[in-house]
């Protein structure tokens, strides 16, 4: 039965397998995103490749509601708000624009993370709400609208072509007359369980968990883990002494776009965290790091796109003594922001003008600035101060400043507004940061090919590593401290083009090899953790900064049973190792590093303050079914005729059944046996 049913379904429907939906996210006040009705939304397909094509959908077309196949270059705020205001549209399928839209496209906010940084009516009110600088002028804020119809991204050009062909074959009007049935239609399923706000959905989920044996959770907080390590090992389960000073280096590792789990983040995240990883490797190779007066902490924050989830949680843990470091241990703060799109090789050093009004803070900030500037002497990258009257761009550092006046610098490729024209969009791809490869390279050759982008980021990594060495009290020559462009190019390939490569395979645990899919890597924070990006940043950092130790598999996986393992100082990982030449067998080994994970869940959920304005309150709705398919649909008249004929046949069959049942003794009586007749 089921096999037969499936074959019938396959004859009726063509499934679209490479799609990404817009889903519902919720915050303390609003809900944003998209959803379909509970049984999915259906409409006749109409292809819109120029704005004039919308007239058919919005007014002229005789067969509403319509399901629009929209050219990626028309996916903008003006068009979507037109479609939002009509009942003639049942959904939207968006084809990726190739090449990227030249005018730029950012569905993010003009003032990212507004209200959750350091500037407010009480602290630098002249800088609050981007009063001085609109950081993302390209932002259309489309990702923060609420749509009551489904919107899907078509990731496969072949599937887009199938839909267009179906439209051309069946839906194009001939000689000015309306198209004839059957028409090509599309059905999109993306019904969301959560509604209204985080407060509502968390309260419902909480009640369900309390009183139901099988609770139906309707939404989940966005959460993951921060990745951190230190140059000199510290006791991860204890407390660092108050007099020990630490220089904190930070970047974010997540991004976002309009569509769920489509977050390439080449400029907004990957360029900076790859540079950060290269800095960590360069410093660990220095011979005298154990003699430095100050320790250096490498921190990779997760969930920063959504009102600083990772950094606000680390600050909260430091304040509550739930982290090895306290805020008092932080000597200074250096953050790598968007760094790949430099103009004339200039990188801008941003500082906070409000905290610098304190003389002691200003002196330390001046030292930071001069050390960074002098470290760029002779390099192909120049560091310049953005200006005293300029506020900090959106950055994790702002969350630390909210808690304490820490001297700090944020490095970025923009002096005022972002250089990135594709901030928080699906077009923030390798092409956006100028990554280019020669034709005809094998995957292995592409992995090893050193791009110009990798060279530029490695040069920046060298400058930052040398500055950090000096700030930490290093007295030797810095000439040997060098970020490796080959490492940088491998990381860019792995985090932006293909995670499933030979290097990533060799540095992760055997039971994690399933995370290395062949799809393009995405860096969305999500609700199930750790996500692939977090795992890979963790293991790349361990590989670049750790040491191979001579332990067996059992000893490596159970360091507490191994003498002299110092497991409170180090983390141990048994990794796959690389393939031998002409072999299918790997040579696994044990890596000892100072890499750790810490929770990146907003304190609002620990405190059950779901309407908090102090901490991020973002949640993601749950859903049951997300899919898309196309099929041919008959006219309403034919459907009604079919229905009426079906009802008539049903009534006739019921009457026939009743008549046969009533006359059964006559119709089905047996003839009597003549021999049994008596006279």
Mean pLDDT of the 609-625 span:
95
495 and 427 share one domain: yes
CATH number for the domain that contains residue 174: 3.50.30
Q: Is residue 522 part of a domain?
A: yes
Which pLDDT belongs to residue 1? 43
- Top pLDDT among 394 and 678 is at 394
Question: Contact 549/542 with Cβ under 8 angstroms?
Answer: no
Q: Is residue 649 part of a domain?
A: no
**Chain-centre distance for alpha carbon 107:** 14
493 and 579 share one domain: no
What is the distance between the alpha carbons of residues 227 and 92, in angstroms, rounded to a whole number?
38
163 and 103 share one domain: yes
Mean pLDDT of the 586-606 span:
96
125 and 183 share one domain: yes
555 and 519 share one domain: no
- Tens-digit pLDDT profile for residues 142-174: 999 999 999 999 999 999 999 999 999 999 988
Q: H or E element: which one contains 348?
A: strand 346-350
402 and 508 share one domain: yes
- Token readout for 600 is 């990146």
What is the distance between the alpha carbons of residues 198 and 32, in angstroms, rounded to a whole number?
11
When computed from its CA atoms, the radius of gyration of the chain, rounded to whole angstroms, is 31
301 and 446 share one domain: yes
Q: Pick from 403, 416, 445, 441: which is nearest to 346 by CA?
A: 416
Q: Pick from 18, 33, 27: which is nearest to 518 by CA?
A: 18
Mean pLDDT of the 29-40 span:
93
Report the SS3 class of residue 307.
Answer: coil
- Token readout for 279 is 């800095």
499 and 382 share one domain: yes
Which pLDDT belongs to residue 512? 93
- Token readout for 559 is 């360091």
Question: Contact 155/520 with Cβ under 8 angstroms?
Answer: no
**Chain-centre distance for alpha carbon 591:** 28
What is the distance between the alpha carbons of residues 133 and 126, in angstroms, rounded to a whole number?
10
Q: Is residue 352 part of a domain?
A: yes
Question: Contact 314/301 with Cβ under 8 angstroms?
Answer: yes
Q: What percent of the chain has pLDDT over 90?
A: 82
Q: Using the predicted structure, report yes or no on whether residue 638 has a pLDDT greater than 90.
A: no
Q: Is residue 202 part of a domain?
A: no
Report the SS3 class of residue 545.
Answer: helix
Q: Pick from 345, 336, 326: which is nearest to 299 by CA?
A: 336
Q: Is residue 55 part of a domain?
A: yes
DSSP for 215-247, please give it. ----EEE-EEEEEEEESS---TTS---TT--EE
Mean pLDDT of the 657-673 span:
79
- Tens-digit pLDDT profile for residues 376-428: 988 899 999 998 889 999 999 999 999 999 999 999 999 999 999 999 999 99
- Tens-digit pLDDT profile for residues 252-290: 999 999 999 999 999 999 999 999 999 999 999 998 888
Mean pLDDT of the 31-38 span:
95
Which pLDDT belongs to residue 673? 62
Q: Using the predicted structure, report yes or no on whether residue 637 has a pLDDT greater than 80.
A: no
Find where tokens 């600083």 sit.
308
- Tens-digit pLDDT profile for residues 426-448: 999 999 999 999 999 999 999 99
Q: Using the predicted structure, report yes or no on whether residue 119 has a pLDDT greater than 70.
A: yes
Q: Using the predicted structure, report yes or no on whether residue 2 has a pLDDT greater than 70.
A: no
Find where tokens 């990726």 sit.
96
Mean pLDDT of the chain: 93
Q: Is residue 660 part of a domain?
A: no
Q: Is residue 614 part of a domain?
A: no
DSSP for 120-172, please give it. BTTB-TTTGGGSS--S-TTB--GGGSEESS-EEEE--HHHHHHHHHHHHHHTS
Enclosing domain of residue 117? 7-191+626-637
Q: Using the predicted structure, report yes or no on whether residue 251 has a pLDDT greater than 50.
A: yes
50 and 78 share one domain: yes
Is it true that the peptide bond before 182 is cis, omega within 30 degrees of 0?
Answer: yes
Q: Using the predicted structure, report yes or no on whether residue 112 has a pLDDT greater than 60.
A: yes
Report the SS3 class of residue 180.
Answer: coil
- Bridge partners, 332 (sequence order): 247
Mean pLDDT of the 92-114 span:
95
Q: 10 Å Cβ neighbour count for 7?
A: 9
Q: Using the predicted structure, report yes or no on whether residue 559 has a pLDDT greater than 70.
A: yes
DSSP state letter for 379: S
173 and 254 share one domain: no
Give me the numbers of helices (H) and strands (E) for the chain, helices first please.
18, 24
- Tens-digit pLDDT profile for residues 316-336: 999 999 999 999 999 999 999
Task: For 172, list phi and psi in degrees, rounded to 5.
Answer: -75, 130
Which pLDDT belongs to residue 679? 46
Which pLDDT belongs to residue 672? 64
CATH number for the domain that contains residue 346: 3.40.630.10
Phi-psi region for residue 344, left (φ > 0), alpha (ψ -120 to 50) or beta? left
487 and 589 share one domain: no
How many domains, in total, are found in the chain? Answer: 3
The sign of the dihedral angle between the CA atoms of 435, 441, 442, 447 is negative
371 and 407 share one domain: yes
Q: Is residue 40 part of a domain?
A: yes
Kindly compute the dihedral angle of the four CA atoms of residues 439, 443, 448, 452, in this order, to the nearest 10 degrees. 40
Which pLDDT belongs to residue 518? 85
Strands (E), 240-336: 246-252, 295-301, 330-336
- Tens-digit pLDDT profile for residues 305-314: 999 999 999 9
Phi-psi region for residue 141, left (φ > 0), alpha (ψ -120 to 50) or beta? left
Total number of residues shown for the chain: 679
What is the distance between the alpha carbons of residues 337 and 182, in angstroms, rounded to a whole number?
54
- Tens-digit pLDDT profile for residues 510-557: 999 899 988 889 999 989 879 999 999 999 999 999 999 999 999 999
Question: Contact 219/202 with Cβ under 8 angstroms?
Answer: yes
Mean pLDDT of the 44-58 span:
95
């Amino acid at each position: 039965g089921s096999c037969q049913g499936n074959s019938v379904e396959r004859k009726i429907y063509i499934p679209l397998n490479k799609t990404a939906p817009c889903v519902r996210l919720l915050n303390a006040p609003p809900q944003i995103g998209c959803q379909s009705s509970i049984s999915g939304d259906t409409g006749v397909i109409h292809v819109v490749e120029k704005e004039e094509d919308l007239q058919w959908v919005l007014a002229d077309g005789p067969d509403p509601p319509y399901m629009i196949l929209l050219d990626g270059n028309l996916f903008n705020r003006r068009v979507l708000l037109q479609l939002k205001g009509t009942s003639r549209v049942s959904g939207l399928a968006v084809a990726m624009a190739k090449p990227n839209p030249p005018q730029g496209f950012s569905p993010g906010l003009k003032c990212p993370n507004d209200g959750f940084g350091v500037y407010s009516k009480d602290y630098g009110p002249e800088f609050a709400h981007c009063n001085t600088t609109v950081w993302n002028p390209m932002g259309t804020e489309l990702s923060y609208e609420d749509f009551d119809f489904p919107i899907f991204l078509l990731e496969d050009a072949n599937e887009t072509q199938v839909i267009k062909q179906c439209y051309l074959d069946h839906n194009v009007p001939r000689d000015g007359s309306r198209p004839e049935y059957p028409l090509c239609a599309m059905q999109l399923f993306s019904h969301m369980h959560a509604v209204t706000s985080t407060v509502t959905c968390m309260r419902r989920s909480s009640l369900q968990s309390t009183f139901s044996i099988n609770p139906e959770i309707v939404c989940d907080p966005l959460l993951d883990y921060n990745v951190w390590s230190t140059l000199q090992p510290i006791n991860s389960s204890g407390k660092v002494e108050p007099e020990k000073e630490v220089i904190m280096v930070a970047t974010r590792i997540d991004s976002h776009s309009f569509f769920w789990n489509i977050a390439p983040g080449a400029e907004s995240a990957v360029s900076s965290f790859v540079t950060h990883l290269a800095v960590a490797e360069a410093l660990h190779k220095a011979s005298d790091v154990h003699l430095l007066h100050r320790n250096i902490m490498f921190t990779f924050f997760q969930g920063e796109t959504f009102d600083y989830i990772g950094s606000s949680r680390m600050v909260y843990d430091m304040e509550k003594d739930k982290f090895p470091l306290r805020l008092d241990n932080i000597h200074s703060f250096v953050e790598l922001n968007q760094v790949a799109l430099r103009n004339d090789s200039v990188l801008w050093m941003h500082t906070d003008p409000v905290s610098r009004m304190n003389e002691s803070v200003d002196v330390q900030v001046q030292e930071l600035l001069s050390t960074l500037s002098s470290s760029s002497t002779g390099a192909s990258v120049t560091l310049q101060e953005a200006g005293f009257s300029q506020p900090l761009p959106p950055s994790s550092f702002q969350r630390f400043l909210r808690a304490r006046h820490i001297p700090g610098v944020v490095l970025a490729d923009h002096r005022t507004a972002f250089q990135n024209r594709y901030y928080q969009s699906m077009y923030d791809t390798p092409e956006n940061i100028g990554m280019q490869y020669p034709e005809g390279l094998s995957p292995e050759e592409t992995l090893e090919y050193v791009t110009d982008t990798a060279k530029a980021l490695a040069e920046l990594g060298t400058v930052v590593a040398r500055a950090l060495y000096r700030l930490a009290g290093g007295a030797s020559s810095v000439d040997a401290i060098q970020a490796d462009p080959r490492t940088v190019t491998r990381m860019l390939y792995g985090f932006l083009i293909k995670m499933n490569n030979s290097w990533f395979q060799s540095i992760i645990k055997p039971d994690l090899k399933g995370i290395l899919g062949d799809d393009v890597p995405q860096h969305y924070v999500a609700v199930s953790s750790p996500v692939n990006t977090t795992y890979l940043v963790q293991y790349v950092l361990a590989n670049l900064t750790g040491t191979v130790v001579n332990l067996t598999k059992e000893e490596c996986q159970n360091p507490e049973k191994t003498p002299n393992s110092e497991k409170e100082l180090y983390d141990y990982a048994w990794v796959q190792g690389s393939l031998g030449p002409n072999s299918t067998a790997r040579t696994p080994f044990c890596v000892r590093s100072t890499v750790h994970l810490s929770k990146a869940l907003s304190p609002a959920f620990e405190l059950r303050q779901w309407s908090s304005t102090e901490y991020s309150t973002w949640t993601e709705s749950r859903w049951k079914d997300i899919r898309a398919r196309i099929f041919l649909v008959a006219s309403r008249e034919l459907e009604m005729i079919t229905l009426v004929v079906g009802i008539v046949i049903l009534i006739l069959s019921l009457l026939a059944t009743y008549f046969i049942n009533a006359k059964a003794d006559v119709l089905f009586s047996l003839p009597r046996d003549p021999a049994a007749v008596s006279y």
